[in-house]
Structure 1
């Protein structure tokens, strides 16, 4: 099954968070040569890097380096899936389950991954639990 990366995985890898070693190990051992992300991922990665820089978690130089590395991934490693109105509709239905605490952006990722028959790869336990509730394939790193 083709993996679909949650933004948390991408940002952790790009910024050298403590989970980056686990992510690199997973990337080395994966069986699929394709890695999926979506158009929405582009916005979220940019936002997350800006937030990290604004809050002093990374320097301007680290942010620039992360953006350059992300561009390399976009050109060489990632298949970018388009986002449709149906994805937003399905994400809204996922968010209706208030007990899951699913955020809108995560619900959108889940809808895209499910439609693509992809395996969601995430660092977020709550997101993984929601994926399980909806019968989606996932891996919690």
Structure 2
């Protein structure tokens, strides 16, 4: 979407705005400004529908996303709920074993009863622990069975 087209669409201060790939072709600075503008519109109660192949944009800007497969809506939910329902949340542990830094991943469910996880926490120097959740792109691939183009 060109900046001029976006400016023209915003002139009448619409309550509902439809945008097709609003960040495509923009430099990073301009893309950030457009994202901020869209988030501000959302905060002001405006409704913005956007189509995008960029799942990071959808995750950052959208309250709800819909995956369309062969012309039909296959799935609709918030990005957060899709990640919880469709993905596997993991705990990633980086620890020192001898002279090596090792990485282990564990399902978040029943983590406190996972013997391997507990062994690492008790017996090794832990450098870092963080959670990993699936991306919208991974969920899209799971739902549709195909890659984004």
TM-score, normalized by length of structure 1? Answer: 0.26
Higher gyration radius (CA): 2
TM-score, normalized by length of structure 2? Answer: 0.25
Greater strand percent: which structure?
2
